């Protein structure tokens, strides 16, 4: 029995890390890996959702905000990576950049993936453990990390993810505009929407 005026301790949440992470992001918290070039600033939790789907490199929520504006909120998959994974990715990106400064040369995906693999390979045991000992999952994760290294070293960063979204028709940048720096036209909505998730 609780003494008068005292509240029972709160129950510990049993939600998953991704649920917690999405809840934090939806609370208008700025977040990004150190190597990324865009902040997540969306209001996912406050949207009246009209669509939600996954792309090969991210999660998208489209909906109407309280002010009546349509929002396209993108959460790139690397934004939900662990700090340890992001440190490995950052190390590989640094190696790619150093290699290019030193000797110039190729910037194709296969070559960059090879450099990234060389840097990530010593960590493969840690990646395997994080994948529960599943070798196929580890290989998939290593490939994903190599793609991220490519995207943020010689690729287009978050624009690679936007360009890979088959539901986006047009993407254009309006850099001087403080509120809407990146715009997108989404097929199933048929109107201009603002990627506030970037």
> Which of left, alpha, beta for 119 (phi over 0: left; psi -120 to 50: alpha)?
alpha
Q: What is the pLDDT of residues 101-150, one digit of tens each?
A: 898 878 899 999 999 999 999 999 999 998 899 999 999 999 999 999 99
Q: Are strands 182-186 and 192-193 parallel, antiparallel or unpaired?
A: antiparallel
- Distances from the Cα of 2 to the Cαs of 7, 10, 12, 182, in angstroms? 7, 13, 19, 53
pLDDT reported for residue 73: 82
- Please, is 87 exposed, middle or buried when counting C-beta atoms within 10 Å of its C-beta (0-12, 13-18, 19+)? middle
pLDDT reported for residue 181: 63
pLDDT reported for residue 183: 65
Q: Cα–Cα distance between 92 and 113 in angstroms, integer? A: 10
Q: Which residue has the higher pLDDT, 193 or 138?
A: 138
Residue in 194, 160, 156, 190 with CA at minimum distance from that of residue 174: 194
Q: Helix and strand tally (H, E) in the chain?
A: 6, 6
Q: Are strands 168-173 and 70-76 parallel, antiparallel or unpaired?
A: unpaired
Residue 167 pLDDT exceeds 60: yes
Average pLDDT of every residue of the chain: 79
Q: Cα–Cα distance between 195 and 155 in angstroms, integer? A: 20
Please compute the mean of the pLDDT values over residues 61-85 and round it to a whole number.
85
pLDDT reported for residue 23: 58
Q: Residues near 156 by Cβ (< 8 Å), separated by ≥ 6? A: 163
Burial 108-123 (b: 16+ CB within 10 A, else e): eeeebbebbbebbeeb
Backbone angles phi, psi at 156, to 5 degrees: -105, 15
pLDDT reported for residue 37: 78
Residue 39 pLDDT exceeds 90: no
> 3-class DSSP state for residue 35?
coil
Query: Is the pTM above the cut of 0.85?
Result: no
> 3-class DSSP state for residue 159?
helix
**Hey, where are the domains in the chain?**
17-79+166-193, 83-156
pLDDT band (50, 70, 90) for residue 178: low
């Amino acid at each position: 029995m609780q003494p008068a005026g005292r509240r029972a301790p709160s129950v510990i949440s049993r939600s998953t890390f991704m649920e917690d992470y999405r809840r934090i992001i939806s609370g208008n918290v700025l977040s990004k890996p150190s190597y990324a070039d865009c902040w997540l600033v969306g209001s996912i939790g406050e949207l009246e959702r009209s669509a939600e789907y996954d792309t090969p490199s991210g999660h998208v929520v489209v909906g109407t905000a309280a002010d009546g504006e349509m929002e396209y909120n993108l959460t790139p998959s690397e934004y939900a990576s662990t700090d340890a994974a992001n440190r490995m990715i950052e190390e590989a990106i640094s190696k790619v950049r150093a290699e290019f400064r030193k000797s110039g040369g190729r910037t194709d995906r296969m070559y960059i993936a090879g450099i990234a693999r060389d840097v990530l390979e010593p960590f493969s045991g840690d990646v395997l453990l994080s994948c529960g000992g599943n070798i196929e999952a580890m290989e998939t994760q290593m490939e994903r990390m190599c793609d991220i290294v490519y995207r943020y070293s010689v690729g287009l960063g978050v624009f690679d993810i936007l360009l890979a979204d088959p539901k986006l028709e047009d993407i254009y940048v309006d850099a001087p505009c403080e509120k809407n720096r990146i715009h997108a036209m989404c097929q199933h909505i048929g109107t201009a929407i603002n990627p506030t998730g970037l």
